[in-house]
Structure 1
Amino acid sequence: MTESIDTLLEGCRRGRPAAQRGLYERLGSQLMGVCLRYCPSREEAEDALQLTFVKIFTRLDQFRHQGPFEAWARRIAVTTSLNLWHQHQQRGLHLDADQAHDVPAPGGTPFDQLSAEDLIRQLNALPPGYRTVLNLYAIEGYSHAEIGELLGISEGTSKSQLSRARRLLEGRLHQQAHISHCHD
């Protein structure tokens, strides 16, 4: 029998290990996917995931039920991962091609003709700032104002980086499609 999120949260508030384990099992893989998009390695994503759950368990009193708990937890995962990314910024931000299965596949887009590995490779080739803004906006659903606050940049810079990331990615995808078409 699967417990509801509210039941698990109540158990976590009371410090019950079984409820904490249940919440981890319920949200762990989803939040790991978030962490992988922002951390430069799987190991750091795992660290970010652990820190995320520590924050979730110690800040449950801050959850105000103003939306789904999962969205609140996801926001903690994003900010925790970004904080780790800032600490290791000189190494850049990337996903390994063998981690592509952890990233949700986009539907109904020009990316449909790419394998997950090709898509990850194209995303990894973007400059880190562009890639981060693209992830936050297109995947996480943050507004440009929120992205600016998270990254310490202006809203205009966020919009500009997203636009440049899209143009760069589109150009590379068209070039790859042209090369693939010429080899067929």
Structure 2
Amino acid sequence: METISYQDVNSQVIDKCKEGDNRAQYELYKLYSKAMFNVSMRITNDYSEAEDVLQEAFISAFKNLHTYKGEASFGSWLKKIVVNAAINAIRKRRSELVPMDERTIGDIAEETYDDDSEWKVEKVRKAIMKLPDGYRVVLSLYLLEGFDHAEIGDILGVTESTSKSQYSRAKKKLLEIMKEPQFAV
């Protein structure tokens, strides 16, 4: 089977996967596994756990492919499965959400670095990985994965206002981390 691109993922490939065609499933896995691993890693912050989540998510996706209606892209549908699997993995660790104050990532950038300094994405990524699980999950789902607070609330089983407050606290904590000496420019 030829390698496919995102644009080439169509009903024919999905249909082959639904029929249990292992090669079609492998092509979808190759196409989406790296991006979905990154989603999982941002949420779990643990390499081996992210790998486990990825495998679990793909197994679940292939098992439940009959529910995919094509109303959203396959990648979006799969991403929701990965996010839910990652959240479940974190819940198994029994992490709890904790409160925080209002700030924006822009505020963090402005308060952490001088105007003349270049904002270092890698440093922000590392600082995000230092956040407690609950903060990192909400921040990642909102900023990096594009979910709104109502969706985050549904995913985590909390209210929309709890998601907003967790996000706010996460930004404050991120600012504190970014001010630590190892993150100074």
TM-score by length of 2: 0.77
SS at match of 1:113: coil
Which portions of structure 1, spanning 4 or more consecutive aligned residues, are displaced by more than 6 angstroms?
none
Q: Deviations over 1:127-157 (max 9, x none)?
A: 3222111011111111111111111211111
The residue identity in structure 1 corresponding to 2:88 is: N
1:84-103 equivalent positions in 2, closer than 5 A: 84-89=89-94
Compute the displacement of 1:178 (Å).
9.6
Compute the displacement of 1:177 (Å).
10
Q: Deviations over 1:37-66 (max 9, x none)?
A: 122421111111111111111111111211
Residues 40 and 85 in structure 1, CA contact (< 8 A), matched pair in contact too: no
Compute the displacement of 1:165 (Å).
1.6
State the aligned residue count.
163
**Higher helix content, 1 or 2:** 1
Q: Please, which of 2, 6, 9 is the counterpart of residue 5 of structure 1? A: 9
The answer on 1:79 being equivalent to 2:95 is no
Answer with 24-33 or 39-48: which moved more: 39-48
Q: Please, which of 31, 42, 46 is the counterpart of residue 51 of structure 2? A: 46
Compute the displacement of 1:121 (Å).
3.0
Gap change, CA 1:172 and 1:84, over 3 Å in 2: closer
Residues 131 and 165 in structure 1, CA contact (< 8 A), matched pair in contact too: yes
Q: Deviations over 1:84-106 (max 9, x none)?
A: 111123599xxxxxxxxxxxxxx
In structure 2, distance between residues paired with 1:168 and 1:23: 38
Compute the displacement of 1:23 (Å).
0.6
RMSD: 2.7
Gap change, CA 1:172 and 1:88, over 3 Å in 2: closer
In structure 1, distance between residues paired with 2:182 and 2:56: 40
The answer on 1:158 being equivalent to 2:163 is yes
1:136-155 equivalent positions in 2, closer than 5 A: 136-155=141-160
TM-score by length of 1: 0.77
Residues 40 and 91 in structure 1, CA contact (< 8 A), matched pair in contact too: no
SS at match of 1:66: coil
Q: Give me the identity figure in percent.
A: 31
